[in-house]
């Protein structure tokens, strides 16, 4: 009886695992501008995340809605994010292109980070298969002399 109950429990658990939603695959990005860390945000040491709902019709981005924006500037938490990051994120997303047959909506997250261990120069840019973007750069150092 115990083995039968255990077998039934495994069957129920495996069905529950199969019923869990999985993230939908993002459409295949075929073009767009390379995202960058906004220089003014870098100079102000603003970092954060921007979550955006993207609507694509006939391969073109037609609608963008900021779902969530969080930011940090120095030790100050920016509860609603910073336009220093939000505006460039939306601008970059407007440049994205997909195959003309793509008509869908999906969410993307842009993460902007400042890493003092990175050497001065070009930022590190990563775009995941789900089209989430991470941009990491070194802090801007000012030469006053």
pLDDT tens digit sequence for 11-52: 333 343 444 444 567 899 999 999 999 999 998 889 999 999
Furthest C-alpha separation in the chain: 83
Question: Which has more pLDDT, 123 or 76?
Answer: 123
Over residues 81-87, mean pLDDT: 90
Task: Specify burial of residue 6 (Cβ count, 10 A radius: 0-12, 13-18, 19+).
Answer: exposed
The pLDDT score that the predictor gives to residue 2 is 38
User: Residues 78, 21: contact at Cβ < 8 Å?
Assistant: no
Task: Specify burial of residue 44 (Cβ count, 10 A radius: 0-12, 13-18, 19+).
Answer: middle
**Per-residue pLDDT tens for 98-138?**
999 999 999 999 999 999 898 887 899 999 999 999 999 99
pTM score = 0.79
Q: Domains of the chain by range and CATH?
A: 26-137 (3.30.2420.10)
User: Residues 52, 92: contact at Cβ < 8 Å?
Assistant: no
């Amino acid at each position: 009886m115990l083995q039968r109950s255990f077998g039934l429990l495994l069957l129920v658990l495996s069905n529950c695992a199969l019923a869990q939603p999985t993230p939908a695959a993002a459409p295949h990005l075929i073009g767009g501008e390379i995202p960058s860390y906004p220089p003014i945000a870098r100079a102000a040491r603003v970092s954060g995340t921007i979550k955006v709902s993207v609507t694509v019709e006939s391969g073109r981005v037609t609608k963008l809605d900021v779902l969530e924006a969080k930011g940090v500037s120095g030790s100050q938490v920016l509860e609603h994010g910073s336009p220093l990051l939000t505006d460039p994120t939306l601008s970059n997303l407007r440049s994205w292109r997909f195959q003309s047959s793509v008509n869908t909506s999906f969410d993307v997250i842009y993460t902007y980070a400042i890493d003092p261990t990175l050497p001065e120069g070009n930022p590190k840019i990563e775009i995941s298969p789900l089209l989430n973007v991470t941009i990491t750069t070194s802090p801007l150092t000012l030469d006053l002399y």
